Chain A
Amino acid sequence: MSLSGPWFIKIVIVTKKISPCNLIVTWSYFDLEQSKNQMKRTILIFAFTLVSFMIKANGDSLSMKYGRHWVTGLGLSLQTVWDEAMSPVRYGGTSLRVNPSLQKYTAKHWRTIDVSLGLGGLRSSYFEQSKRGKAMNFGFNFDYRYLRHLTGFGTGNEVFLGGGIRTLNNARLHSQLDNSILPFDSFTSLTVEGGLQRSFRWKQRDFLLRYSLGLPIMSLAMRPNYVSVYNFVNPEAKFFGERIEEHGLSSFGSYFRMVSKVELLYKLRTGNLMGLAYQWDYYSYNRVHQLNVATHTITFSRYFNY
């Protein structure tokens, strides 16, 4: 392992020092480039994020106590899609996301119900050479998470662990594809959820920094059939019935997803919160047609007490 790789240099330039965090970054990237195993690469990325957070989040300040919040969020996503059912090349684009959610935070647990609706456009990687590669994408996610406090309630450094149900539904409308116009993916997963929370004061103001991570362990997956054509030559075929019949049970071998979110919350005088979050959502599926999707989302949100 070399510590003189380009990533190490870049991170040291940013942070201007060699720290344990930087070493993990360097090691992760070095190993990522060496490894062909997707699972291993993803776990390394997770390990980096988790460890770097724990190394850095060791201050002391006010902690968030009890609260129930109605959250409205508006976000912008950058998405990269490689869907063999749609194209042999990557598509990328932006979408607008609306994220309403409910959150309840007590001494025992942190519960959330999140909805995410997205609408946007995608373009082929070679769009500049040929203007034909254009698609629309639609997304709908519904997540329920229940996390228990493991340690540190009221201390400013809190750790959570729990589970959840996450649904992920994406569809891409690509008019070039004739009867295969609608490649889609739908996953409903039982997940393991983790979270870290650090509260601190800065310039006389209260802040919360949260990191959360979700990993599906078992999922119901639905994808188009091999030729991506709905069975419209059978009048007795039902679109949703067909999809449900085609569903498959998937685990780490065929479906992998990681939802990693960092959120900075600023406490207002009213007790409400303002939030700025960055989420990285990556998933891959390798049955029938391979699929890789990565989505970066920046969300501005407002937490209202109720």
Chain B
Amino acid sequence: MKQILYICFGVLISFAACEEVLIEKNPSNDPVTNFDILWRIMNERYSFFEYKNIDWDSVYDEYRPLVSQSTNDVELFDIMKDMLRILEDGHVNLRSDFDIVRFPDLYLDYPQNFDRDMLERVYWEKDYRITGFLVNREIQGVGYIYYGSFVASVTDDDLDFVLSRFEDLPALIIDIRNNEGGDPQYAFRMIERLISRRTHVYNHQFKSGPGPDEFSELEEIYANTKNNVVKWNKPVYLLTNRNVYSAANLFTAMMKAVPQVTQIGDFTGGGGGVPAGAELPNGWAFNYSSTILSLPDGFIVENGLAPDIFVEQTPQDVANGVDPILDRAIELAKAN
């Protein structure tokens, strides 16, 4: 029995010790290693270096000397933040316990072209329905929907209700200004009401390996039409501004493939890469764009989509209680 116990004990300690040999060693958790790992993962997985013409090696040469073993967490975070901001990508962020990197220049450097408070007081006039998360009302004989976030779910019942409500009206305005994105499935749920057949809406490629040219095959993405629901085949006016980002930008890209849709307002903010996540040894998490999304004609949507009709709203317009973007849409809608 004693011998058997020896065997069991020997096997136990031998396998326990094996792990130290067989499993990959931990990188050290110091500022230099954390910086290097962040740079390396971005270098291997970020999808827009070529499109944005960024020399990531030279970025390393510029920022790496700023980090040493004595760099504290806040200093390290700020160095990483400055490095990541070079990418000008709203899908790139870094999250620690004390701060989050974001890229507000996407919209702060441009006119806002949206004032919800004024819109609500002057155009919605306290007399609107909120169906699910869709604000909707008839404005001057035109159907109007405001959808503020793709994080908020849109159901088939919501869409059936709203589109039925407007079925006698000549056109529909979908206002997605300041919609920063969320779940693309709601974009598909909306567009399937507007198309009469399976439609090629965009192209998509994943980063598929660490090399700069390693991408998956170009995949054509289609939206399908839906039967037995309320459909809309009359004109649609889509209102956008620079704060339309990510899934909302994707929705705008998809709407470009629908013939009866006209985009009015400002450029969208962009965000044409699906964000993927990773983490550093110190526990900080970060996101990066991992795909390239393009229109059927090959145009990459990362930096935003131009409107068919460019209209701006000035601070004076807001002060005067005027929304020229919405006004232009109403004007065109009434002409149908």
List residues of chain A with CB under 8 Å of any chain B CB. 7, 10-11, 14-15, 21, 25, 28-29, 32-33, 38, 41-42, 45, 48-49, 52-53, 56-57, 80, 82, 86-90, 124-127, 129-133, 174, 176-181, 200, 202, 209, 225-229, 231-236, 260, 262, 264, 278, 280, 282, 284, 290, 292, 294, 296
Tell me the minimal C-beta distance from B290 to chain A in angstroms: 4
B221–A233 contact, CB under 8 A? yes
For the complex, is B170 an interface residue (Cβ under 8 Å from A)? no
CA distance A90 to B279 in the complex (A): 12
User: Are A178 and B222 closer than 8 Å at their CB atoms?
Assistant: no
A residues less than 8 Å from B8 (CB atoms): 262, 264, 278
Which residues of A lie under 8 Å from residue B275 when comparing CB positions?
178-179
Taking a contact as CB atoms under 8 Å apart, the answer to whether A89 and B18 are in contact is no
Contact A52 B11 (CB under 8 A): yes
Residues of A near B290 (CB, < 8 A) are 227, 229
Chain A CB within 8 A of B224 CB: yes
In the bound complex, do residue B204 and residue A179 qualify as a contact, i.e. CB atoms below 8 Å apart? no
Of B10, B29, B221, which is in contact with the most chain A CB atoms at under 10 Å from its CB? B10
Show 15 A/B contacts (Cβ-Cβ < 8 Å), sorted by A.
A32-B18, A45-B14, A88-B37, A88-B279, A127-B283, A130-B284, A133-B283, A177-B285, A179-B275, A225-B216, A228-B276, A236-B221, A260-B11, A262-B7, A294-B22
Distance of A203 from chain B, by nearest CB (Å) = 8
Chain A residues whose CB sits within 8 angstroms of the CB of B278 once the complex forms: 87, 177, 180
Q: Which of A48, A131, A132, A200 contacts B14 (CB 8 A)?
A: A48
* Residue among B14, B22, B223, B283 making CB contact with A124, cutoff 8 Å: B283
B22 touches A227 (CB 8 A): no
A24 to B184, CA, bound (A): 59
Most buried by B among A82, A130, A278: A130
Instruction: Establish whether residues B223 and A235, one from each chain, have CB atoms under 8 Å apart when the complex forms.
Output: yes
> What is the count of residue pairs linking A and B with beta-carbon distances less than 8 angstroms?
194
B 41-63 to A, binary, CB cutoff 8 A, 1 in contact else 0 = 10001000000000000000000
In contact, B23 and A90 (Cβ under 8 angstroms): yes
Those 7 A-B pairs whose CB atoms lie nearest each other, nearest first:
A130-B283, A177-B277, A178-B277, A132-B283, A227-B290, A280-B15, A176-B285
Indicate which residue in B14, B24, B184, B250 contacts A90 across the interface (CB closer than 8 Å): B24
- CB pair A45–B15 under 8 Å, yes or no, is yes
Give complex CA distance A292, B20 in Å: 11
Q: Any chain A CB within 8 A of the CB of B296?
A: no
Interface residues of B in 181-230 (CB under 8 A from A): 183-185, 188, 204, 206-210, 214, 216, 219, 221-224
- Give A233 to B276 CA distance when docked, in angstroms: 13
A177 touches B279 (CB 8 A): yes
Asked whether, in the complex, the Cβ of B281 is within 8 Å of the Cβ of A89, the reply is yes
- Whether A179 pairs with B276 at a CB distance below 8 angstroms is yes
Chain B contacts for A57, CB-based, 8 A: 4, 7
Q: State A294–B6 Cα separation when bound (angstroms).
A: 23
B interface residues, Cβ below 8 angstroms from A: 1, 3-4, 6-19, 21-24, 26-27, 29, 37, 41, 45, 95, 97, 183-185, 188, 204, 206-210, 214, 216, 219, 221-224, 250, 274-285, 287, 290-291, 293
Contact A179 B274 (CB under 8 A): yes
Other CB < 8 Å A-B pairs besides A49-B11, A131-B283, A229-B206, 8 of them? Answer: A15-B10, A29-B14, A45-B18, A129-B283, A132-B97, A226-B209, A232-B184, A234-B219
A132 to B6, CA, bound (A): 41
Residue of B nearest to A279 (CB): B15
CA distance A255 to B80 in the complex (A): 36
Chain B residues within an 8 Å CB radius of A127: 283
Closest-by-CB residue of A relative to B6 is A15
Smallest CB gap from A203: residue in B: B1
Query: In this complex, what residue of A is CB-closest to B95?
Result: A176
**Which chain B residue has the least Cβ–Cβ distance from A16?**
B6
B276 touches A130 (CB 8 A): no
A294 touches B18 (CB 8 A): yes
Q: Residue on B with the closest CB to A134?
A: B283
Q: Given A176-B285, A236-B222, A264-B8, do A227 and B291 touch, yes or no (CB 8 Å)?
A: yes
Least CB distance, A128 to chain B, in whole angstroms:
10
Inter-chain CA distance A17–B51, complex, in Å, is 68
- What is the CB-to-nearest-CB distance from A91 to chain B, in angstroms, rounded to a whole number? 10
CA distance A104 to B6 in the complex (A): 29
